[in-house]
């Protein structure tokens, strides 16, 4: 990452932090503390010594959630470094999983085995959503763009807490916001 890209990601995470505190405290209060240097070292080691700055910045911000019920997006609970690495190891042994998913690292889980991944094999890592039964992953942009999208979801007030303590999203409004975001990402990539 360039210094400009690093600063943009850190600014986006700071904005998301503020938005979650004010608009979705039921999510914010369930985020784990940032990753320790030892956890970051484990991440690097498990990824073959590779340092992926955007990923490390994400985990230094918050290293997953403190429970298994708190989604930051529909179909997206933040995973800790340990959970992400465990998922990656398990994926390596699943037949018929495509190479892109096997080489990626899941950062948000949809609780059905699928979720949002970071393509760490690319020199410019991008986020994608993938389901095992769907051969075509959907691109969600750079880490900074993705964090800005998460922020927009919470800024719009699309998340609430239901009577069971789980995060519920206004899915109609979410799908509209997501479609607009994905269209912008697609146009920017042309």
Cα(115)–Cα(111) distance, rounded to whole angstroms? 8
pLDDT of residue 190: 64
Q: Consecutive sets of 10 residues in the chain, 190 residues long: mean pLDDT of each?
A: 90 97 97 97 93 95 93 95 93 78 90 90 90 83 96 97 92 97 86
pLDDT of residue 69: 85
pLDDT of residue 100: 79
- DSSP state string for 36-83: PHHHHHHHHHHTTT---HHHHHHHHH--SBSSSS--SBTTBEEPPHHH
Q: Nearest 5°: CA angle at 70, between 116 and 16? A: 70
Cα(109)–Cα(122) distance, rounded to whole angstroms? 21
Q: What are the extents of the domains in the chain?
A: 3-189
Is the backbone of residue 36 left (phi > 0), alpha (psi -120 to 50) or beta? beta
Contact predicate 27/158, CB 8 Å: no
> Which CATH number does the domain 3-189 belong to among 3.40.50.300, 3.40.1580.10, 1.10.150.530, 3.90.1150.10?
3.40.1580.10
Cα(143)–Cα(78) distance, rounded to whole angstroms? 14
Is the backbone of residue 98 left (phi > 0), alpha (psi -120 to 50) or beta? beta
Start-end of H helices in the chain: 3-23, 25-28, 37-46, 53-61, 81-92, 99-103, 143-155, 171-189
DSSP lists the bridge partners of residue 151 as none
Contact predicate 64/32, CB 8 Å: yes
């Amino acid at each position: 990452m360039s210094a400009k890209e690093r600063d943009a990601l850190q600014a986006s995470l700071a904005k998301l932090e503020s938005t979650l505190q004010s608009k979705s405290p039921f999510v914010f209060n369930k985020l784990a503390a940032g990753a320790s240097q030892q956890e970051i070292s484990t991440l690097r080691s498990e990824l073959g010594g590779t340092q992926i700055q955007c990923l490390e910045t994400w985990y230094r911000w918050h290293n997953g959630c403190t429970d298994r019920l708190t989604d930051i997006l529909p179909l997206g609970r933040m995973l800790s470094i340990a959970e992400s690495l465990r998922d990656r190891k398990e994926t390596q042994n699943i037949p018929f999983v495509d190479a892109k998913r096997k080489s990626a690292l899941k950062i948000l889980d949809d609780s059905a085995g699928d979720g949002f991944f970071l393509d760490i094999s690319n020199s410019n890592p991008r986020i994608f959503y993938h389901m095992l039964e769907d051969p075509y992953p959907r691109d969600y942009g750079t880490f900074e763009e993705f964090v800005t999208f998460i922020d927009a979801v919470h800024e719009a007030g699309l998340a609430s807490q239901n009577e069971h303590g789980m995060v519920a999203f206004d899915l109609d409004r979410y799908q509209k916001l997501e479609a607009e975001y994905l269209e912008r990402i697609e146009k920017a990539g042309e």
